Each structure stands twice: as C-alpha cells, then as structure tokens.
Amino acid sequence: MTRSHTPKSLAVLLRARMYADPIPSPPPAPSPPASPDSSAPPAAGAASVRHWLHASVSAASPSPAALDCFSDGYRSLDSRGRHEILRSLATDYDVPRARLHDLMLQYVSVSTTGEGGDEQPGAEREEGGAASALYRMERGLGDALRPKYAGFLEAMNAQPGGLKLLAVIRADLLALLGKENAPVLRALDGYLKEKLVTWLSPAALALHQITWDDPASLLEKIVAYEAVHPIRNLIDLKRRLGIGRRCFGYFHPAIPGEPLIFIEVALLKDMATSIQEVLWDDPPIAECEAKCALFYSISSTQPGLSGINLGKFLLKRVIDMLRRDMPSVQIFATLSPIPGFMQWLLAKLASQIKLAETELQEGNSLEGASSTFRESILLPEEEKIIHNAVEQVNDKQGIELLQDVLKSSQWVKSDKLSAALKSPLMRLCSRYLARERKRGKALDAVANFHLQNGAMIERINWMADQSEKGIKQSGGIMVNYLYRLESIEEYALSYSATGLIHGSPGMS
C-alpha cells in the first residue's frame, strides 16, 4: 500500500529550501545529566566534553550514559570547541608507546638466545615453554599497537545514533586537517576511516528506491543534499521521482530515514547529450521504450564519509536491479560534470603566459630552461579564429585572449565567441580527461570515480550544462561515461594496476 502526503507534510516540503545547502549543526544541547558512576564533570563546554571523553576512553567498557553525555556535549560545541576535543582525542589517547616499548624489549629477550641473537629452534622453545610466552606477548603487542581511542570509537558505533556522530566527528576532523596537517591527526583519521569502511560494508546497507510516496522528511533530505543539479521546486522533485525516472539510496539501519548516498537515473532511448533534456525538456518516454539507463547525479549526504567509495557498490546494485526489472535496458551510462576542467585550463594558460613573458624579458636567454615547459595550447587555426572573434585584441596572443574571455561567463551569450571557443575547448577537455594525471590516475575527481569503477569515456558534449555553475566549472561541457557490462571488471583492473584509461576513438 502506498503512502500519500498529508496537507501538513506537503506544507513542510513546500517550505524546504529548493537548492543544496549545508545541513546546519544541531542547536546546543542542554547540560548533560550526571553519570551514575562518575564524579561531577567540570563546567559546561569543551572541558565538560573532555571529561566525558576521558571517562569513556578510560573505562574497560564505556557506559552508555557517559557516551550519551559526550555525544550531546560534542554536538553542542562550535567548530573551535570540536577541534579542541579532536586534538585531545588524537594526542592524549594515541598508541601507548611506553608500554609498547617495554613489551618489545621483553619480546626480543624471550624470542632470541645466545650471543648471536639467533632465533631458538622450534623444538627448544616448545620444551622450554617459551612458545606460550611468545604467543602471549604477540597478543599483547597487538593490543598495545591499538590506540587508546579504539575502544571508545567501537563503543560509540554500538550506541544509538553513534554511527551518525562518528560521521560528524570525521567531517570535523577533515576540516581540521585542512588547517593542521599533523601526523597524529592523520593517524586518527586513518583509523576512523578504516573502521567506517568496515561498519559500512555493502552487507550492512539497504538499497531503497525513493519515490514520491516516501515521507516528506526523506524528500526534504533529497532536496537539501542534491549536490550536482539543485532541485528547484516541487514540480522538479516530482519529475525526478516520477515516470521514466528512478532515485535509489543506500540506507544504514543506524541512521534511519536518511540515505548515506543516492543516485538519480533517467530512462531514455539513448544517451542524453545535455542535462537540459534530462531535467526540463520533453515529457519522459514510456518506460517500455527505454533502452538506456542514464545516471545523471550521485550525491553523498555525509561529508564525514569522504574517501569511502559507497558509490561503487551503489552503482553495481542499481545496475543489477535495473537489468532484472527492465530487460529492455541495454545501455548503462552517465551524463557527468567535469568540475576541474576550467580550473585546470585557466592555470595552464596562466603558466604559459608567464613563461612567454619571462622569455621575452630575458631575451630568450632562458631558452634551455623555459622552452622545456612551453607548449602550444592553441592550434594555429584556433588562435586565428579567436583573434577574429574578440573585438579588442590589443596585440595579445591567442592564449591571453582565451584567458581573458574565460575569466567571465559572459562569453556564452555571444554566438560568435561560443563558436570560436567550441573547437579548442572540446579538444582541451578531451585531453584533460584522457591524459592529465595525478599520481598515475585521472586528474578529474569525477572521472577517477567512474574509471576506477570500470567505466570508459564515451563522449563529451558541448553546451550540455548551461547553468552558471556548469559554465564556470567546465565551459558547459559534460561527459558520458559508459559502463560496458562485459568489460567493467577488465577496465577497472587495468585502470587500478596501470592507470590505463579506456575511451572511444574520439577520446584518445
């Protein structure tokens, strides 16, 4: 039986903000009650939260009351107070190195004999009882290598609402790492991320199709967290959840009513070439006519889960579900943004202009050094077309004119400029996606995500996103990544092992 919205629930949704916006921190919680088995805490604020942190970390089995007090207190802090707590958690409750040092000395003394320090033969160790001691010490070493905060994090995960708090803590930790890249903070982040990966394994997550009949509270979250193509109004939301469209979310039982990540799908006859035709153009086709499932938006709702690839498993589950429910769908592709293209291009233009100016000032005396880094961004015919399209040239080079034009989004309003820029921008975008690397992988974050999941670069599309954001990020260009079902594993493995990017002939 489906659920319909009451007038009240629709009124709530009507008041929802119709664009992506950060979810505000919860209001300050009231002062926590005294723990039944702890002394009274210090004054409210960071000192009080630190008290409950110490009480929880120090206990062999943290009490639920102490964990609740820490949770309520931590949520009530501003960013400065939270960062203070995170520094304390990372520094004061790190690996107990003094104990670890003593255990290592004992272990070495038991595991070696003789002046040469050679390891005892197995039989001798067994006869002397040393083997049992070694095994005990190895277990002790393993325990000593765990940071003191390990038990606290595990206990918090078992608390009602604890997993959500840990995601909030990691989001705060990532923000702090952006300011203070300290090894002790990186260690805490690495440990917490590793635990979150385990706790959020695909087996623990439920896939749910989000529909117009879901509670208004859930639909509000979809509106608020949509990060790729903001939802403008109720009509837009209803279209994305209606005929010819699908929206799927991954849910965890510890965070009910809130997807960790969700994906939006359009059922089409073929791959779309622009987001306008997906969101605003003709009415959706009859679902029985669909041949292509187009993934056009993937949004994560938890900043603290950054770096945990839930999208990979969500994509695979959704593809399997669509193949089962809609056998006529044979094409699985995306229409994706290229968020880093314009930033990369403007930086490339600036560096080449600087090198040209340096050569001119030094009278080519730096030819041996600077010429190594000089490259022709524009082809001769492209440079000529840009010169003809720009009204005020002022003896500037083509790359200088291109830089001036791209610094503003106004060029899209000129048919002459748009026509002049299409060829160089499409060619340079193809290069950016297929050839520009970071640590051996695709420089563009969205490209890296899909390529590591086994996709190939199929096609780039001119003026596919004409929103202000789309023009600013990528000159309006979007890309289709294609998931060939028979090649997904092969492409994913080759990209992971060697960085090989598979693409259609036009993208090579």
% of residues, the chain, pLDDT over 90 = 71
CA torsion angle 190 195 198 202 (round to 10):
-80
Q: What is the pLDDT of residues 86-115, one digit of tens each?
A: 999 999 998 777 777 777 887 787 766 434
Domain 341-507 has CATH 3.30.465.10: no
Q: What is the pLDDT of residue 508?
A: 61
For the segment 189-205, what is each residue's pLDDT rounded down to a tens digit?
Answer: 999 999 999 999 999 99
Check 336, 430, 474, 502 and give the catalytic one.
Answer: 336
Note whether 46-95+147-199 and 341-507 share their fold: no
Positive or negative, the CA dihedral 357, 358, 360, 361 is positive
Would you state the pLDDT for residue 33?
Answer: 45
CA distances from 68 to 30, 60, 155, 162 (A): 12, 17, 11, 9
pLDDT (0 to 100) of residue 27: 39
pLDDT tens per residue across span 251-305: 999 999 999 999 999 999 999 999 999 998 777 888 999 999 999 999 999 999 9
Residue 188 CB-half CA count within 13 A:
29
In this structure, the number of other CB atoms found within 10 A of the CB of residue 273 comes to: 17
For the domain spanning 46-95+147-199, the CATH number is 1.20.140.90
Quick check: 135 pLDDT over 50?
A: yes
Residue 322 has pLDDT above 90, yes or no: yes
252 is catalytic: no
Q: Does 54 have pLDDT greater than 70?
A: yes
Query: What CATH architecture applies to the domain 203-334?
Result: 3-Layer(aba) Sandwich (3.40)
Measured CA to CA, the distance from residue 399 to residue 386 in angstroms comes to 9
* Range in 10-24, 90-104, 316-330 the model is least confident about: 10-24
3-class DSSP state of 64: helix
Which residues make Cβ contacts (< 8 Å) with residue 319, sequence separation at least 6?
293, 332, 483, 485
Q: What are the pLDDT digits (tens) for 242-261? A: 999 999 999 999 999 999 99
**Residue 144: predicted pLDDT:** 72
pLDDT value at residue 370:
54
Whether 450 sits among the annotated catalytic residues: the reply is yes
Residue ranges of domains in the chain: 46-95+147-199, 97-145, 203-334, 341-507
Q: Given 51, 54, 450, 502, which residue is catalytic? A: 450
* Tens-digit pLDDT profile for residues 147-181: 999 999 999 999 999 999 999 999 999 999 999 99
pTM, two decimal places: 0.82
